[in-house]
A and B are shown apart, each in its own frame.
Chain A
Amino acid sequence: MGIRFILMVNKQGQTRLAQYYEWLTLEERRALEGEIVRKCLARNDQQCSFVEHRNYKIVYRRYASLFFLVGVDNDENELAILEFIHLLVETMDRHFGNVCELDIMFHLEKAHFMLEEMVMNGCIVETSKSNILSPIQLMDKTS
């Protein structure tokens, strides 16, 4: 499987969303997130978007104050993951309208639902924004 975890972290290094596709204990997660965030946030814009950490490769991208970090296997196509992050942001943008950190915080479960429609067990399920969003919109309508 390609994707091992997806993290959204703000400029201060606080986790705003975390989805793991392999089991890590709470302590392992906290340690891992701390290490990765320190490593990635210290890098500047000119440096490349890939960081090797432990046996992961972290592909990250920054949107305003929010960092999207995706941990992948070593043989994953890094450029494609970069493109995937962009797709994720665009999808959230379409739903929330100019997505920001607070949208994700206060609608954590919706963000998860979107992610669920896009990635399952570390593999990409769907890449069409309207297909991703249709179940969520349906749910919004009924409730």
Chain B
Amino acid sequence: MNPFSSGTRLRDMIRAIRACKTAAEERAVVRKECAAIRTSMNENDQDYRHRNLAKLMFIHMLGYPTHFGQMECLKLIASAGFPEKRIGYLGLMLLLDERQEVLMLVTNSLKQDLNHSNQYIVGLALCALGNICSAEMARDLAPEVERLLQFRDPNVRKKAALCTIRIIKKVPDLSENFINPAAALLKEKHHGVLITGIQLCTDLCKVSPEALEFLRKKHTDGLVKTLRDAVNSPYTPEYDISGIADPFLHIRLLKLLRVLGQGDADASDAMNDILAQVATKTESNKNAGNAILYECVETIMSIEDNGGLRVLAINILGRFLSNRDNNIRYVALNMLMKAITVDAQAVQRHRATILECVKDSDASIQKRALELVYVLVNETNVKPLTKELIDYLEVSDQEFKGELTAKICSIIEKFSPEKNWYIDQMLKVLNKAGNFVKDEVWHALIAVISSASDLHGYTVRALYKAFQTSSEQESLVRVAVWCIGEYGDMLVNNVGMLDIEDPITVTESDTVDVVKIAIKHHALDLTTKAMALIALLKLSSRFPSCSERIKDIIVQHKGSFVLELQQRSLEFNSIIEKHQNIRSALVERMPILDDGTFSTRRAGSLPAAASTSSGASLNLPNGVAKPSAAPLVDLLDLSDDLPAPSSSGGDFLQDLLGIDLSPAPTQSGIGQIQKAGTDVLLDLLSIGTPVQSSSPTTDILSSSQNGKSPIATLDALSSPSSLSAQATSSARAVPMMDLLDGFGPSPLKPEDNGSVYPPLVAFQSSSLRITFNFSKQPGNPQTTLIQATFINLTPNVFTDFIFQAAVPKFLQLHLDPASSNILPASGNGSITQNLRVTNSQHGKLKLQENTIPAPLISSEVHSSYTKSISTETAFYDGDL
């Protein structure tokens, strides 16, 4: 034996550790001790086993690894003496967990000890089993524990009850065996057994519906009586806490009653009286009494409705809320959160107090109160509540600001009654806590601003003013820069003044200053600077007089170390210098974003669709050659999306702003093209999924036509009879449609002359069905004759029905006049129209697959949009 170290007594070791001045010293002492303990263990030193384990427990508590002591625990447990067993079991509980395989070795010792003649040893084994039992141990030892539930000594019974909880949680199937013994514990007089028995029954009810049913039927009255006895019991010094006999027992009883009363009117009825008694008679000037009241309120709120009791409960909460003690206020807020589902009106009454709690100095109370306020907001109180919260935003703690901002933004988005108010409030939030605002929030704000065309001038002026005071708030700067880029002219000319505004004088140069400050600001990041560059480019066209100055600012970034900024700087500079003639077209104002669509997309609810914009290939000013066979994805056409709309909201705007630093839009375009070209070859693609009627989505294009004739886009029909078709139906509420999904492999086979092709439903929505019948003239395989049949499925007559179609360049399309332009309602008739499609590259399919251009939309209705869209697109695409 090593006399040098393992001789240190526990006491000395603790002293040595306490005397350590630094963490390094402590580590050294612990390392030395651990080494000594290991040596001692290797020598199988019986005398010091106990002490070694005690030391290990201390070392473990300090947070050092002690796994090497696990086997020692098992040895101590297996020894005969009580003190050894005691420390062994304690070590077992502290140092081991149920996942370790060593634990399997202990099952046998546990079994022996559970059957031991000494009740204290039985108690030890039960305690250990209750703390660390695994599923296998539960199965092996459940019969022992079940027997011990009826043991003569109450101290064993209570431990067996808690041990059972662990067992039924590990193996719920075993719960059946325990229902009767558990119910028997409810009649006990011993507080310890009673409290554990009640706990066991509560847990049984959670895992087993039969147990719940059984206890509800047979024991509700008994438990009510037990609670009554507990409430009325005379003074018992052993269990008394500040004048109340065993508040823990009260609380456990109330918890079990809650489980039994939930969803059962009879059981709830049976406990009404006693709950009323507890709620009115319990003393509320001590913590113990309040704990009981708190539990009682929760039970009243959870069981089946009884108006009178609920009033009582809400009153107690009201008292709690006005209590000076912060603990009591905290639990009151906690409880009101649950009460709100039961009686929102009553909670609303305390709104003012709750709002005060948001401003409390205590972070826990603030957090609770804020969550409560958040659920209290509705259409009627949103304005005053938002005002309060925004006012508070200014003075709140830094740590709290993030959460507060998120909640305020969410409230504003959810309940805003009008756009003007929404914009005002968001600007206030950006102004005060712009650095805490999430990206989605300011993206959404831009969508709203864009769609509120009458407020453009007002917004840009407000942002200009806000920028003067809060240029540190990043998201404010971003929104301001974007708006100035788009609507800078309105700022200078005071266009669209609202009555509430004071006119301001801003020169063109002032406007450029704002963007310049943003781009120069050291604290602002890449995205902001990239946005600022775009804004500058836009301003250069809007303010010809400042063009030179803007050019200078842009040029300063051509040496930027950030590729993105450098590239933008160079390309923009080239646009300003060399391409004056197309500049104004390039930087036209962005088309209006539809915020409704935006938010739908943000929720990710719009199904994936594919369509592409006019492929009129533009020669990009920056000289990036654009593959002519890859028409650009139309960034604005909302139907245009990658087939992964999950987080598309943010991306979409990113794309739109051209600030997404990845080439996603381009890729998406190519991806879709290939898809259209290959996979979906024969599909009369993409009219798809009519948007769910519950959320009528108006897309940009249709809204621009006063909602009269939204567009259904039939896309590509490639392959031997490639064809793109576009249908303009006059169905009133038909939103964006997309044909793409749902087509299996093509029913059309590239056979030779004169074959018969099965008809194809080219488009089907709730309002319109289009069927195509195909035929080919013998000896003329490159020409496909298509007879389109249109059937109106709505109860309204479609008038002025026009079908339009477009095809890729290598196809020729001849459209015959339609049989009529009035489509009778409810399928009572149809219109037919013949199309003749000639494929100039018939027979070259294999070669074509990857290069077949995606179908093009070319409709007069939105040609003006496609123009600006495609210029934007081309621009950003090249840029990216």
Contact = CB atoms under 8 A, between A and B. Distances in A.
A116 B127 contact: yes
Contact of B327 (A18, A48, A125, A127): A48
Contacts of B362: 43, 46-48
A83 B287 contact: yes
B162 interface: yes
Instruction: Describe B's contact surface by its main secondary structure.
Output: helix
B776 interface: no
Contact of A79 (B123, B130, B158, B291): B291
A84 B162 contact: no
Given A48-B365, A108-B57, A126-B158, A131 B192 contact: yes
A125 B161 CA distance: 9
Contacts, number: 153
Interface stretch (B81-89, B783-791, B805-813): B81-89
Given A1-B165, A78-B330, A120-B159, A21 B131 contact: yes
Given A48-B330, A108-B54, A126-B192, A79 B287 contact: yes
B277 interface: no
Nearest to A126: B192
A86 B287 CA distance: 11
Interface stretch (B93-101, B471-479, B815-823): B93-101
B239 interface: yes
A26 to B, nearest CB: 6
A27 B247 CA distance: 37
Given A109-B57, A109-B90, A123 B191 contact: no
Contact of A46 (B165, B241, B326): B326
Nearest to B250: A80
Contacts of B163: 120-121
A47 B326 contact: yes
Nearest to B365: A48
Contacts of A105: 14, 18
Most buried by A among B61, B86, B155, B334: B61
A137 interface: no
B287 A120 contact: no
B62 interface: yes
Most buried by B among A49, A120, A129: A120
Contacts of B58: 108
B129 to A, nearest CB: 9
B594 interface: no
Contacts of A135: 120, 123, 155
B535 interface: no
Contacts of A129: 238
Contacts of B165: 1, 121, 123
Contacts of B365: 47-48
A124 B248 contact: yes
B199 A49 contact: no
B61 A120 contact: no
A79 B290 contact: yes
B326 A48 contact: yes
A123 B202 CA distance: 12
B131 A120 contact: yes
B294 interface: yes
A17 B58 CA distance: 9
Contacts of B295: 77, 80
Given A79-B331, A83-B241, A109-B57, A128 B192 contact: yes
A115 B155 CA distance: 15
A15 B247 contact: no
Contacts of B158: 125-126
Contacts of A23: 97-99
A127 B248 contact: yes
A51 interface: yes
B221 to A, nearest CB: 24
Nearest to A30: B63
A52 interface: yes
A112 B291 contact: no
Contacts of B328: 79
A56 interface: no
Given A43-B362, A112-B57, A135-B123, 10 more contacts: A30-B63, A48-B362, A79-B287, A80-B295, A83-B288, A105-B14, A109-B90, A121-B163, A123-B165, A138-B120
Interface of B: 10-11, 14, 18, 54, 57-58, 61-65, 82-83, 86-87, 90, 93-94, 97-99, 120, 123, 127, 130-131, 155, 158-159, 162-163, 165-166, 191-192, 195-196, 199, 238-239, 241, 246-249, 251, 287-288, 290-291, 294-295, 326-331, 334, 361-365, 367
The 4 nearest A-B residue pairs measured at CB = A79-B291, A48-B326, A23-B97, A47-B362
8 contacts: A1-B165, A47-B362, A48-B326, A79-B331, A80-B291, A109-B54, A109-B90, A123-B162
